[in-house]
């Protein structure tokens, strides 16, 4: 057989490049050299982008890698839609913004992206990620943890836009914006009353410290708690509203509930408060026998 000119030389070249390629991968996976140029020389001998990216993923963060090879590996991983590997590589080489970008590609993982933003100190980016992906509670919470007046203001805006008035009021108060805080507390109270959550409304009014709950709201809140059999709490609200007879009846109901639950110590304390000395003594006697 007559050998065609150049065929053997070409095959020999391919075989030689393959051996060099494999040896380079093996050396890079094992080496701990801190010489960036040396690492670059070995990377230049690897034949495929896929193999090069795979090696860089293994050695990133352990040895210095020329930025051009990192960029090339990132581009390959992006084209392959291997966003988790892209994010890991970006973190290993100190590029958190690229990791965030990778986690926001479809299918997005806003939780991972926001955590990287927070861990890298970019609270604003984290807040924007949570907000844009429909997690206002997390955006508001992160704004509150930032201790930055500007970011807390952003949190207030997100809270108001999403009708999280109580969260917004608390954030506004945190930075001394009492006027906005009062407005948002008022909106939350109005929302509670509109949805007949009177007991919650009373708690918010007291927290806000703006004014005293009206007797009407106190009475409605008391009735709400009475239905739930929270008699002692309901009694306090009726007493505050000036309905002392109703309050006493509810305190007696609470004593009877304590009796049913065999909480005789609690029953005796409440009976003492109501001036029911004999009943209180009876409960104490029973408690001693238990």
Over residues 201-208, mean pLDDT: 95
Q: What is the pTM of this model?
A: 0.72
pLDDT at residue 82, as a whole number: 94
Provide mean pLDDT across the span 65-70.
91
pLDDT at residue 3, as a whole number: 43
Confidence of residue 36 (pLDDT cuts 50, 70, 90): confident
pLDDT bin (cut points 50, 70, 90) of residue 123 is: very high
What the block records as the tokens of 5 is 């000119």
pLDDT tens track for 135-194: 999 999 999 999 899 999 999 999 999 999 999 999 999 999 999 999 999 999 999 999
Q: Copy the structure tokens of residue 14.
A: 């391919």
In the predicted model, is pLDDT for residue 12 greater than 60? no
Q: Is the pLDDT of residue 56 over 80?
A: yes
99-105: which pairs have CB atoms within 8 A and are 24 or more residues apart? Answer: 100/125, 100/129, 102/78, 104/129, 105/78, 105/81
| pLDDT for 102 beyond 60 | yes
Whether pLDDT at 28 is above 60: no
Q: Rounded distance, CA 56 to CA 43, Å?
A: 9
């Amino acid at each position: 057989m007559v050998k065609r000119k150049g065929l053997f030389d070409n095959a020999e070249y391919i075989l030689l490049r393959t051996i060099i390629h494999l040896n380079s991968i093996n050396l890079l996976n094992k080496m701990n050299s801190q010489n960036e140029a040396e690492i670059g020389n070995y990377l230049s001998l690897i034949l495929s982008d896929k193999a090069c990216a795979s090696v860089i993923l293994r050695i990133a963060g352990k040895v210095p890698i020329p930025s051009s090879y990192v960029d090339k590996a990132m581009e390959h991983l992006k084209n392959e839609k291997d966003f988790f590997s892209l994010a890991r590589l970006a973190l290993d080489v100190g590029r958190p913004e690229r990791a965030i970008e990778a986690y926001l590609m479809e299918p997005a993982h806003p939780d991972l992206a926001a955590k990287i933003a927070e861990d890298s100190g970019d609270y604003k980016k984290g807040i924007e990620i949570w907000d844009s992906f429909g997690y206002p509670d997390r955006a508001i919470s992160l704004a509150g943890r930032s201790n930055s007046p500007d970011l807390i203001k952003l949190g207030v805006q997100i809270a108001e836009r999403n009708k999280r008035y109580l969260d917004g009021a608390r954030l506004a108060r945190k930075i001394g914006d009492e006027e906005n805080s009062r407005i948002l507390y008022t909106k939350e109270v109005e929302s509670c009353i509109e949805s007949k959550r009177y007991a919650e409304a009373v708690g918010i009014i007291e927290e806000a410290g703006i004014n005293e709950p009206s007797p009407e709201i106190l009475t409605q809140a008391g009735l709400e708690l009475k239905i739930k059999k929270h008699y002692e709490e309901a009694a306090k609200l009726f007493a505050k509203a000036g309905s002392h007879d109703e309050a006493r009846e509810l305190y007696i109901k609470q004593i009877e509930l304590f009796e049913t639950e065999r909480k005789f110590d609690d029953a005796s304390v409440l009976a003492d408060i109501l001036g029911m000395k004999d009943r209180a003594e009876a409960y104490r006697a029973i408690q001693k026998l238990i």
